[in-house]
Amino acid sequence: MCMMQAMGAMKKGLAILGSTGSVGTQTLEVVRSFPEMFEVVGLTCDRSVELLGRQAREFGPRYFHCNGAPDEKALIAATGACERDPLLLVGEEAVDVVVTATTGDVAIAPTLAAIDAGKQIALANKETVVMAGELVTERAEMNGVDILPLDSEPNAIWQCIRGEGEGSSVSRLIITASGGALRNTPIAKLKSVTPRQALRHPTWKMGRKITVDSATLMNKAFEVIEAHWLFGVDWDDIEIVIHPQSIVHSMVEFVDGSVKAQLSPPDMRLPIQYALAYPERMANPQIARFRPTETGALTFQEWERERYPCFEMAIGFARRGGTWPAALSGANDAAVEAFLSGRIGFLEIEQVIRAALEGHRNVDIPEIGDVLDAGRDGKARVFELVEG
Ligand SMILES: NC(=O)c1ccc[n+]([C@@H]2O[C@H](COP(=O)([O-])OP(=O)(O)OC[C@H]3O[C@@H](n4cnc5c(N)ncnc54)[C@H](OP(=O)(O)O)[C@@H]3O)[C@@H](O)[C@H]2O)c1
């Protein structure tokens, strides 16, 4: 076997679901930095067919999937890639790691299929664990599959816990939050905030939905839910703190009182490459280094209940279990969409979600179909309220 073949055989095969989004494009940036490490086996998107086509020409995936028209798909197929449903794509032999970077609940079924096929999951899509945390983590454990958190906060917790040995010596997780675009907006003015203002994130560049979730702190509630399921930590032992600089990505306190934190300038490429390279670390000159004296003070403050009413509401529904968190996620999707299209105000996001979930019929021990139904139910109830 020649050297190139040997290197090719050692490459990790990636299926990137949602390759045209914020996380997806940054995942491809990491691949671009380490072409000898990774092979792009499959790419998927919803409608960004032109971008998917460019990605296909550059990375030469074997498979693709999109929801575009037949003539648009033909353009991508012309690059030599075959169309493959994500449920089948994730099980392809050449795939080692499935990156779940789509928004909403579309990642759940392919994630479960990937787990059943024994593939590692590099998990960006929060909804998967928010809606189906118990199902997904149980199935992963049963199949001996690693779920590698790619989101910066759970990734930071993972980095802090790794190497601590078997058995739980963790006593508390402290998840940091930037506070989002409206952290300094006077509370009295939140009522009239526009989508444009809510989308102006102070430290991170992300997709629209998650940027609004950041401004309501729903995103932080989702991370608490993720941490509960991914690290098996009790709800009461997870807290959040506002950290405006977004340098400390989270902290873990151990039983002896020691606290470990993971620090780095805000750049999603770092947690992405950490998850993709696991169990190695890779030097990437494109990623800025933390310079303490240049960064200046790192500050932490309590989060304000009045400013972020979504947070406690969301944790309350998550703690109920069953299909409540799935309904919450669906309702939040719809409420954010309604806000972004100008149909409701910023503070109404929490109000419509709370009102919509009043009518939700919980399933105590849900199957995957119940989870997806609950998400749709939450969404439909919000749209009904908004239209009404
Ligand atoms: N952005 C971040 O920094 C960040 C950090 C941590 C976690 N996350 C999580 O990662 C996930 C993705 O976030 P993002 O900010 O990258 O979102 P985004 O920029 O909106 O990208 C979403 C991706 O999903 C695809 N997609 C959407 N609906 C789809 C459908 N029905 N079928 C197939 N593909 C679909 C989109 O395709 P089109 O381009 O065709 O629409 C796009 O590729 C979310 O769950 C988010 O909470 C994001």
* Burial tier of 146 (Cβ tally within 10 Å: 0-12, 13-18, 19+): middle
The reported pLDDT for the residue numbered 166 is 67
Q: Is 127 in the pocket of ligand 1 (CB under 6 A)?
A: yes
107 CA from centroid of ligand 1 (Å):
10
**44-88 pLDDT, tens digit each:** 999 999 999 999 999 999 999 999 899 999 999 999 999 999 999
Q: Is 155 in the pocket of ligand 1 (CB under 6 A)?
A: no
Nearest Cα residue to atom 3 of ligand 1? 206
23 CA from centroid of ligand 1 (Å):
7
Structure tokens belonging to residue 323: 């299909």
The three-state secondary structure class of 42 is strand
Residue 50, domain member (yes or no)? yes
258 CA from centroid of ligand 1 (Å):
36
Assess contact for 148 and 122: CB atoms under 8 A.
Answer: yes
Residue 221, domain member (yes or no)? no
Closest by CA to 61, choosing from 49, 53, 71, 69, is 53
Structure tokens belonging to residue 270: 């770092």
Residue 182, domain member (yes or no)? no
The reported pLDDT for the residue numbered 9 is 57
Element (H, E) at 362: none
Mean pLDDT over residues 158-184, rounded?
Answer: 92
Range of the domain at 130: 3-149
Q: Which of 25, 72, 210, 246 to mutate to test ligand 1, by most ligand atoms within 8 A of the CB atom? A: 210
**103-154 pLDDT, tens digit each:** 999 999 999 999 999 999 999 999 999 999 999 999 999 999 999 999 999 9
**Helix, strand, coil shares of the chain as percentages rounded to 5?**
50, 15, 35
Q: Is 111 in the pocket of ligand 1 (CB under 6 A)?
A: no
Structure tokens belonging to residue 387: 């239209």
- Buried b / exposed e over 202-237, threshold 16 CB at 10 Å, is bbbebbebbbbbbbbbbbbbbbbbbbbbbbebeeee
100 CA from centroid of ligand 1 (Å):
9
Residue 80, domain member (yes or no)? yes
Mean pLDDT over residues 302-322, rounded?
Answer: 97
Residue 44, domain member (yes or no)? yes
195 CA from centroid of ligand 1 (Å):
18
Residue 350, domain member (yes or no)? no
**CATH number of the structural domain spanning residue 87:** 3.40.50.720
Q: Is 211 in the pocket of ligand 1 (CB under 6 A)?
A: no
| DSSP string of 279-311, one letter each residue | TS----TTSPPP-HHHH-----BPPPTTT-HHH
Q: Mean pLDDT over all residues of the chain?
A: 95
Residue 117, domain member (yes or no)? yes
Residue 238, domain member (yes or no)? no
Domain total of the chain: 1
